[in-house]
Structure 1
C-alpha cells in the first residue's frame, strides 16, 4: 500500500498538504483536495479514522529512551496535563516500538525524546504524514517541529560562573552522543578556551546519562594524582551518582571537589546540586500544546527554543584549593 510521501510526490504537493487533506482540514483548495484524494484512491491508500471524540483519532505517541530517568516524569506530566484536557490519550513507548505504533490509522501525532531513536526513524514517522514534536534534536522536515533546550547558552552561563568563582581545573562527564550533549560540551570548551584554562583528553569521561555512570566516573577521578576542582556533568543523574560515590569514600563535596549537573530534577534541589535548570513540566506542556495546535491547523513547524538558567547551590562552592 502506498504511503503519504508517495502521494505527495505524485500530486506535486507537500506532505503537510496531503496530511491536511486526509485529515479533512479546511485549509486546502478544492482542486488540490480532489487531486490528492484521487491519487490516494488510485494508489490504494487507506486512511481510516479511529472512532473517538468528535469522530477523530485522539491518541498521541510519546517515545522516551527508557523510563528510569526522573526528568522524564515532569515532561510526561506536562504533556498529559495539556492533552488530556483536550480529550486526547497518550501511548508511551520506547524506540524499539516506535515504528510499530506510529500508524496514521491509529494515532494522530508523536512527541519524541529518545537518544536511542535514530534520525532516520524519526523521519520515517514524519514521512507517514504524522506531525512529530522532537524534544532532543533539530531535523528539517515539513512534518517535524523541533522544541529544543538552549543547551549551549545554559551551559555557557554555568561555566562562566564557575570561572568567575575562581575555578581553574575542570573535568567533564559526557552523556551519550546526542545534540544536547554536544552543545553542552562545546559550551564548556569555548568558555575554557576564552579564559585560557587548559582542558586535556584525560579530563573527559564518557557516561550514558544514568546515575551508575556518574559512580564510575567518580571512581576513575579518585585514582588521579590530583583531582580536578570541578566535575561538570552533562545531566543531574550522573552528577548525583558521582556525589554519592565521593561522599561514601570520604571525599567531601564541595570541600574536596565541586560537582555540577544539568536539568534541575526534583532530587537535585534537595541535594543542593548546582545545575542548569530546564523547566521540564512546562517543556512537556508546551510540546503537547504545539502538537494539538498543529492538528487543529493553527500551529506551525518552526523551531522553538526553550530557555535554561543556572541554579547555583552548595555543591559548587569555591572552598577548596
Structure 2
C-alpha cells in the first residue's frame, strides 16, 4: 500500500506537507501542492481517514540536539530557537547526544534541529529516513529531508587572516579544535591565505585542541617552549584563545606586545578581554533554524542549504590593528 511517506519521499518534502495537501489545508504553495497531488495519483494513493493525522501539526514538539560540551554560544542559539518556537506555539525538547536518538524517534516529534557535531551522521540520517524534517547547524549532510544551515567559516576566517598578512604578520601558529566541518573550513582558509602570500608555515606550530580553555592553555605552554615564538596565534574558537591568553599572562608574556592572539565566535568574555575574533550571529542562527523548520513543517519551506554570514571584530589582542576597538 502506498502511504504518505512514500509520496513525501518521491516529492522531496516532509510527510507533514503531504498530509496538509491531502487534507486540503491552504498553507502549501501551488507548485508543491500540484506536484504532490500528481505524485499521489501516479502512485495510486488512496486517502484513508486513518492516515489523515500522519505528520500533521498536532505534533508540535521539536527535538533540539546540542552538545553537553560547555560552549557559551549554545545559549545564544537556543535563545533564538526558543523565541521563534514560542511565536509559533512549538514545544522544545532539549537533549544531548546520549538521549537524542531515543527522543527524536518518538511519535510526538515533528522535527529536529541538530547542533552537536559529535552526533553520528548515521543517527541523523536514520531519523530523516523516517520522514522527520531536520535542520543541521554547521555540518553538510545530503538528504532530501535535511536542510543545512552553515556559517561562512571559510570566508570570514579568510578575511581575518588576509588582514593579518596585509598588516605585516609573517610568523603564524594555528590552534584547531576537534575535527569538525567548522574546524576544517577555518584551517583551510588559514592555509590558503598563507600559501597565496608565499608565507611558510611550520607544522610544529599547528596545535590540536578540543575547543576548551584548557586546551588553549596547553598550546600556550608549548608555544612558550619554542626557540622563537610566532608573531600571532590564530585560534579556531574563542575559548581556546582565551585559555592561551591567560596562560601567556600568567608567565609574563604580554598580549599583544609579545604575541598577538585571535579567535572565532565572539563569546561574551571576548569583548572584555579585547580579543580580536570573528563574530558569529548565534541568536540569529537559532532564530533562522527554527523559522526554517517551522516553514517546512507547515509546507511553505524548502530544503535548500542556507549560509549565515559572519564578520571580523578587531580588538586590542592584535598589535598592528587598533581600529574599531570596542
Q: Fold conserved (TM > 0.5)?
A: yes
Q: What whole-Å deviation, never above 9, does each CA across 1:211-262 have from its counterpart, x for those lacking one? A: 1111111111111111111110001111111111111121111111111001
Q: Secondary structure at the match of 1:147?
A: strand
Match of 1:246 in 2: 248
- Superposition pairs of residues 65-214 of structure 1, within 5 angstroms: 65-103=67-105, 105-214=107-216
- The runs of at least 4 aligned residues of structure 1 exceeding 4 Å deviation read 22-26, 33-39, 45-50
Write the distance in 2 (CA, Å) between the matches of 1:175 and 1:89.
33
CA change 1:198–1:291 in 2 (3 A) is same
Write the distance in 2 (CA, Å) between the matches of 1:259 and 1:19.
48
The CA RMSD measured in Å over matched residues stands at 2.7
The answer to whether the aligner puts 1:8 opposite 2:6 as a matched pair is yes
Write the distance in 2 (CA, Å) between the matches of 1:113 and 1:266.
20
Q: CA deviation at 1:284?
A: 0.7
* TM norm structure 1: 0.88
Q: Secondary structure at the match of 2:317?
A: helix
Q: 2:17 aligns with which of 15, 20, 23?
A: 20
* TM norm structure 2: 0.87
Write the distance in 2 (CA, Å) between the matches of 1:136 and 1:305.
9
Q: CA deviation at 1:210?
A: 1.4
- Superposition pairs of residues 284-299 of structure 1, within 5 angstroms: 284-299=286-301
Write the distance in 2 (CA, Å) between the matches of 1:89 and 1:255.
50
CA change 1:218–1:31 in 2 (3 A) is closer
Match of 1:306 in 2: 308
> Unpaired segments of 5 or more residues in structure 1?
none
> Unpaired segments of 5 or more residues in structure 2?
25-32, 322-326
Match of 1:60 in 2: 62
Q: CA deviation at 1:21?
A: 3.2
CA change 1:97–1:14 in 2 (3 A) is farther
> Size of the alignment, in residue pairs?
308
Q: CA deviation at 1:143?
A: 0.4
- Superposition pairs of residues 214-229 of structure 1, within 5 angstroms: 214-229=216-231
Q: CA deviation at 1:268?
A: 0.8
